Amino acid sequence: MNTRLESSSAIPLAVEYFRAGELVAFPTETVYGLGADARRDAAVRKIYDAKDRPLTNPTIVHAANTKMAQRCVETFPHLAEKLAERFWPGPLTLVLPRAQAISPAVSAGRSTIAIRVPRHPVALELLAAFDGPIAAPSANRSGFVSPTTAAHVLAELDGRVGLILDGGACDIGVESTVLDLTRQPPLILRPGGITAEMLRPVIGDVELFTGTVKQGESAPSPGLLDRHYAPQTRALRFTPGEWPKMQAMAQTLGPVALISHDAAIHLPAPHTTILLSRDESAYARSLYSALRAADAAQAKLILVLAPPASTGLWAAIADRLHRATVSS
């Protein structure tokens, strides 16, 4: 398949692709998504093929607005109304019972779907022009790092998707928060752009799923696999206290790619140091690019300095790093 990379002015062409049951990759404020008409089984199944995604991992559905989201689910409880009013459009995904109109393929055998209204202008314009729900997991090969630029998508899916809409670099850089509203109190299945601290004042008690699951185990949310969001090179995370040990290891091992957010923790050539910000938003925005750059550095090993906090957006960052790396 020939992959076309177009600017966001190609939205009418993207709509034609969706109407023909084909895939389009498009930008959202979190990461790029690989989209298909969420009402058509055959179209949704193409997403799984293109990503080599296990059929057990359900995908997120995107809606143009709350009204469209409501038509995709069986019930839209009061709590969902409150959340939609406060956080949509935005990086909050709600798990709710699936409506008949939506292809069961998005649910991967479950009775629920995960749905959100994204806030990226290109995503919103695309959804409005298509006038229907779009199923879209992150536009990467299953298990690997999510794309935050159109170039990342091309590197992952060249020849596997018909059209990529280029909307620039994603603003948030880590995936949306997935919140299960089918249980009380609601459970954060995946931390993301909308943090527990932001949710509590709106909905009160909320729990955070902290476990990981192994390949093949049944999971409350299959994206919680213990290895996910991972670069190809072996990646190790370490705490500041372990830095001397890491330096010694780098000396014997050969070229290492280090991702740090502390200027005092760096390695000289022939090693590569990628210095990220200490600001959580800036760190999140560049995390996946940094993992890709580290992967491309031809290093024997990637070292990642553990995040300095576990609250706010750092919770989402720590979660992704936990799955992308092993501890030292």
Say how far apart CA 88 and CA 72 lie, in whole Å.
16
Which residues, 6 or more positions from 138, have their beta carbon under 8 angstroms from its beta carbon?
31, 32, 33, 34, 146, 147, 175
Say how far apart CA 133 and CA 130 lie, in whole Å.
8
Q: How far is the CB of 117 from ligand TXA (least distance, A)?
A: 10
Contact partner, 272, from Mg ion, ligand TXA, none, Cβ < 5-8 Å per class: none
Residue 138 or 273: which CB sits closer to Mg ion? Answer: 138
> Which residue's C-beta sits nearest to Mg ion?
138
Contact residue for ligand TXA among 4, 45, 86, 110 (CB under 6 A): 110
Contact partner, 189, from Mg ion, ligand TXA, none, Cβ < 5-8 Å per class: ligand TXA
Amino acid identity, position 195: T
- The residue ranges that bind Mg ion (CB under 5 A) are 138
For 77, half-sphere exposure in the C-beta direction (CA atoms, 13 angstrom radius) is: 12
Say how far apart CA 268 and CA 287 lie, in whole Å.
21
Span from 5-13, 135-143, 232-240, 242-250 in contact with ligand TXA (CB under 6 A): 135-143
149 sits near ligand TXA (criterion: CB under 6 A): no
Total residues contacting ligand TXA by CB under 6 A comes to: 28
Contact partner, 222, from Mg ion, ligand TXA, none, Cβ < 5-8 Å per class: ligand TXA
* Residues written for the chain: 328
Say how far apart CA 195 and CA 183 lie, in whole Å.
18
Please say whether the beta carbons of 63 and 69 come within 8 A.
yes
Residue 15, both tokens:
């709509």
Contact residue for ligand TXA among 112, 195, 260, 273 (CB under 6 A): 112
Span from 218-226, 234-242, 288-296, 305-313 in contact with ligand TXA (CB under 6 A): 218-226
Please say whether the beta carbons of 132 and 38 come within 8 A.
yes
Helix (H, G, I), strand (E, B) or coil at 276: coil
Say how far apart CA 210 and CA 201 lie, in whole Å.
21
Where in 22-41 is the site for ligand TXA (CB under 6 A)?
28, 30-31, 33
Span from 37-45, 134-142, 196-204, 296-304 in contact with ligand TXA (CB under 6 A): 134-142
Contacts with ligand TXA by CB under 6 A lie at 28, 30-31, 33, 57-60, 91, 93, 95, 107, 110, 112-114, 118, 136-138, 175-176, 178, 189-190, 221-223
